[in-house]
Amino acid sequence: MGFLTPQATGELGVLKTYALQQLAQLRTTVVGLSNEQAHSHPTASALNLTGLLRHCGAVGVFWSASAAAAPGQPDIPTEFEDRLLTELVADPSSLEETLVYFDRCVELTAANIDAVTDLAAPVPVPRAPWYLADLTSWEARWCLAHISTEVARHTGHADIIRESIDGKGSFELNDLAARV
């Protein structure tokens, strides 16, 4: 998938295309890197590329499964439950293992989005200190849009980390990824 989001039709198709395109863009940030580089912290941030891949993969699975299960609770396989970002950044899994995990997350995300039947279905808000206490639900469409916004934010972080490692930016990385 290239730098620009491909054309799509229908609301669900557009939401799916944007989510998968953002995940694809995140994946390009590790093209050609060594395991050591992908785990490095070359900026003032504590973030690294492997942690961002694991976090964003889990975000895709969680929110797409939530939209697909609405109005019920999603059934998330234990291996795809999101952990604290600090844990994911410290995860010692190799870049290769991380990419296998990430690619599986993308597959599950796509399948979950395909299973969404009602974009207006209420999705119960998970309990977390960062959500307003009186917020009880979002629409399934909100969950799918949230995947794109959350992943886009972290793809920006990943772009800066990658540029700090070797100066390669997103246009060059998309070109390299297309040749792999």
Contacting residues for 45 by C-beta, under 8 A, at least 6 apart: 157, 161
Alpha-carbon distance of 144 to 140, in angstroms, equals 7
| CATH of range 11-171; options 3.10.20.440, 2.60.120.10, 1.20.120.450, 3.30.750.210 | 1.20.120.450
Tell me the per-residue pLDDT of 109-128, one tens digit each, with 9 for 90 and over: 999 999 999 999 999 998 88
CA distances from 15 to 21, 22, 119, 121 (A): 10, 11, 10, 15
Residue 30: DSSP 8-state: T
Assign residue 2 a region (left: φ > 0; alpha: ψ between -120 and 50; beta: otherwise). beta
Tell me the per-residue pLDDT of 34-67, one tens digit each, with 9 for 90 and over: 999 999 999 999 999 999 999 999 999 999 999 9
Of the pLDDT bands very low, low, confident and very high (cuts 50, 70, 90), residue 79 is: confident
pLDDT at residue 1, as a whole number: 46
